[in-house]
Amino acid sequence: MASISHSSTFPCKTLSVTQPRTQFTSKPAALPTNSVKIALKTVGKSWVCSGAGEVVRHRPNFRLRAVSDDEWGPEKEEGSAAPVAVAEPEEVEEAKPTEIERLKKALVDSFYGTDRGLKATSETRAEIVELITQLEANNPTPAPTEALTLLNGKWILAYTSFAGLFPLLARGTLPLVKVEEISQTIDSENFTVQNSVQFAGPLATTSFSTNAKFDVRSPKRVQIKFEQGIIGTPQLTDSIEVPENVEFLGQKIDLTPFKGIFTSVQETASSVVKTISSQPPVKFSIPNSNAESWLLTTYLDEELRISRGDAGSVFVLIKEGSSLLTP
């Protein structure tokens, strides 16, 4: 025990003996140049002096590191192969759509051929109602009126069960007349709503819109008061595109004989297009008896909105610019 207690005062030196580097012989590379390899390399052997004056050899020290062929050089140790670690690219799985994304796509797909609900069959309506119910149960915005920034912007009507709009939609089935778009624009900063319908014909396009104010009555409900109606100035087209035929009352009517007449009308229309387009739109007040309504938002996210109105009617709207609007 005495020799251990006095070992710290015993004068000795620590010697470091480094093994000579092993000679390598040239051998063809088994792996491509610059492949990553893991190798163990002896750094040195430590020699220390014990308390009894004896020189004792400790175990060699090793360092683990990754090297490349460029660092090792063209020579490799004959008859031995260093362990090789090969990095393989990880396969990245595509993100699976969430349940809400799946329901939204299925809902939008079910609108195909319904003309915003006008031509929907009873089976299709039942399917749409089921999908709407599932989305409402998974509503990511339970209090839409407290998230007015999501309500902001222009929303395009994709489907409705509101019978009051069906006569308007039916006008789009008339020859040469088409309802191009029905939209609702919400300004949450000024608490205003504008409903707009755009019509298109062979000679001109025009619009009809209503301006309204809204008040928040609950986390999901707003009260709407219509104030003004606006009939937009017709915008005449510079060129008339006449279809080969139109369908009316189940029969196709050939329009080829009328192309000469339309050409003559086009020449007259182009001379007055600037004059008519410069006129202001026609505005009128909406009677108080028809001035108020309410709207309940039952589903809301960045691109889809579901609302319910009077008599249980439903409206499905898609935010302008959303990929859901792409067929």
Sequence ranges of the domains in the chain: 99-317
pLDDT (tens, 9 = 90+) of the chain, 327 residues, equals 444 444 444 444 444 444 444 444 444 444 444 444 444 444 444 444 444 445 445 455 545 455 455 544 554 445 555 555 555 556 656 667 899 999 999 999 999 999 999 899 999 999 999 999 999 999 999 999 999 999 999 999 999 998 888 777 776 556 667 888 999 999 999 999 999 999 887 777 889 999 999 999 999 999 999 999 998 887 766 555 666 666 655 566 666 666 666 666 666 666 665 566 667 888 888 887 668 888 899 999 999 999 998 778 999 999 999 999 986
| Spatial distance between the Cα atoms of 59 and 54, rounded to a whole number of angstroms | 16
How many CB atoms sit inside 10 A of residue 214's CB? 20
d(CA 212, CA 225): 5
* Among candidate residues 160, 203, 205, the one with its CA nearest the CA of residue 183: 160
For the chain, the maximum distance between any two Cα atoms, rounded to a whole number of angstroms, is 126
pLDDT at position 153 = 96
pLDDT value of position 87: 57
Q: What is the pLDDT of residue 280?
A: 81
pLDDT of residue 175: 62
Give the angle subtended at the CA of 204 by the CAs of 200 and 208, to the nearest 5°.
60
Q: Which two tokens stand for residue 160?
A: 């409705």
Bridge-based pairing state of the strands 304-308 and 235-236: unpaired
Q: Give the SS3 label for residue 305.
A: strand
- Residue 125 CB neighbours (<10 A): 16
Rounded to two decimals, the pTM is 0.62
Residues shown for the chain = 327
Give the model's pLDDT for residue 235: 76
pLDDT at 327: 66
Type of residue numbered 162: F
Rg for the chain, CA atoms, rounded: 40
DSSP string, 218-245: SSSEEEEEEEEEEEPPPEE-SS----SE
SS3 label, residue 206: strand
